[in-house]
Structure 1
Amino acid sequence: MTQLTLDKIDFAILSALQRHGRLSNQELAINVGLSPSPCSRRVKALEDAGFIAGYATLLNAEQFNLALTVYIQIRLEKHASDILEAFEADIINYEEVQECSLITGSEADYHLKVLVKDMQHYKVFLLDKLTTNPHIAGIHSSFVLKKVKSSTAIPIS
């Protein structure tokens, strides 16, 4: 990745793309006050420098009957690197897991965000997948009652 110092136009490009990822280069250029060619070059430079990690389409989970979001804290029996790596390798293969983070400042070692259809599907995920791992010492589940804010945008300035 190349070194790049961002200016206000770069920040404007990044902000616009976070809000509306499907903007055409023409629309983006108008939005940030550039002509299309320099705008396209700047976007390419932002990609090459690693500021833009990729592009994605965000799907509406409710349209797929995925109505239950669960945050799970997992405590492992030991913190040996082979146990951590094995746990992470298992988690990566579970399609229900949207996020998995190794955390500190809690009794838990990992924090998971899981998306399933309903409580029955969560029970299957919990009993058939999570609890089959012999290194898990504790599981604490919290269920989302209402999403107050959900965003993929990161704060930039």
Structure 2
Amino acid sequence: MAVTTRRLDDIDRRILRVLQEQGRIQNNELAERVGLSPSPCLRRVRMLEESGVIERYVALLDASKIGMGLTVFARVWLTDQRAETVEHFTEEVERLPQIVECHLMAGDCDFLLRVVAADLDAYRRFQVDHLTRIEAVRSVKTEIPMQRIKLTSELPL
């Protein structure tokens, strides 16, 4: 995938807005919605894909309907912040599918993780059996959300 920087015009932004809402929309319908004929619309979508603006297409799943109804946020502190320690931790995180987001933080903790699990017991087992066993993990503090107010993958354009 090419990693080029490209300036987005109004038509690109319209295309991206529609694709964020309906990733499986047919090109003819997309072209109609953004005010282009099908061929130029398809060329623009291909350019957005090739430039890396569109990373990939995915299906968004309802976690509760596949038995992963609990989401927690885990703040992780490492024993040190040496490059090797951070790299080891991130490699281990990549291997754990329950961790759906991982952010290296500036501030109080070293990492912030979003973790999904079937329920609180399943998360606790995951924390004990996997997360805290990663070498150099000093401490984990778990935050349990009471209610999800907003969850979106759409970026403002």
TM-score for the superposition, normalised by structure 1: 0.95
Q: Which residue of 2 aligns with 1:48?
A: 50
1:78-117 alignment runs, 5 A limit: 78-105=80-107, 107-117=108-118
Cα distance per residue 1:32-77 (max 9 Å; x no partner)? 0111011001101111111111111111111112111000000001
Q: Distance in 2 between matches of 1:5 and 1:126?
A: 43
Any runs of at least 4 consecutive aligned residues in structure 1 with deviations exceeding 6 A, and if so which? none
Q: CA RMSD in A?
A: 1.1
3-state SS in 1 of match to 2:40 = helix
The AA in structure 2 aligned to 1:132 is: R
Deviation, structure 1 residue 154: 1.2
Aligned length: 155
1:51-66 alignment runs, 5 A limit: 51-66=53-68
3-state SS in 1 of match to 2:23 = coil
3-state SS in 2 of match to 1:134 = coil
Aligned-residue sequence identity (percent) comes to 35
3-state SS in 2 of match to 1:26 = helix
3-state SS in 2 of match to 1:82 = helix
Q: Which residue of 2 aligns with 1:35?
A: 37
The AA in structure 1 aligned to 2:36 is: L
Q: Which residue of 2 aligns with 1:144?
A: 145
Q: Which residue of 2 aligns with 1:134?
A: 135
Q: Distance in 2 between matches of 1:5 and 1:87?
A: 36
Gaps of at least 5 residues in structure 2 are none
The AA in structure 2 aligned to 1:117 is: A
| Greater shift in the superposed pair: 130-139 or 40-49 | 130-139
1:14 aligned to 2:16?
Answer: yes
Q: Distance in 1 between matches of 2:125 and 2:137?
A: 17
Q: Distance in 2 between matches of 1:35 and 1:134?
A: 56
The AA in structure 2 aligned to 1:73 is: R
3-state SS in 2 of match to 1:111 = strand
The AA in structure 1 aligned to 2:123 is: Y
Q: Distance in 2 between matches of 1:7 and 1:133?
A: 45
Deviation, structure 1 residue 131: 1.4
Tell me, yes or no, if the aligned pair for 2:76 and 2:111 is still in contact at 8 Å. yes
Q: Distance in 1 between matches of 2:124 and 2:28?
A: 49
Q: Distance in 1 between matches of 2:134 and 2:33?
A: 51
Q: Distance in 2 between matches of 1:133 and 1:47?
A: 36
Deviation, structure 1 residue 122: 0.6
